[in-house]
Amino acid sequence: MPLEINPNIQDPDGFYQELIDSQRGMSEAEAELMNCKLVLLLANHIGDRDVLREAIRRAGGAP
């Protein structure tokens, strides 16, 4: 399964708003911890190490 890099989220603005709203009232440290947990949950859902490796590479700035 290749990494999907084209827009693929239904209602991306709504998703972004949900993410922002979910962290309202949290400290910066709490929000960072939530983001880390979210990354791990989604990585587990994806499960494919090659896809995850490419995502890490791209998120780190590599093309």
Domain extents for the chain? 26-63
At residue 62, the pLDDT reads 87
User: From first to last of its 63 residues, what are the pLDDT tens digits of the chain?
Assistant: 899 999 999 999 999 999 999 999 999 999 999 999 999 999 999 999 999 999 999 999 987
- For residues 58 and 3, is the Cβ–Cβ distance under 8 A? yes
Task: Give the Cα separation of 60 and 56 in Å (integer).
Answer: 6
Q: Kindly state the tokens that stand for 5.
A: 């890099």
| Closest by Cα among 6, 37, 7, 5 to 19 | 37
What is the largest distance, in Å, between two alpha-carbon atoms of the chain?
Answer: 37
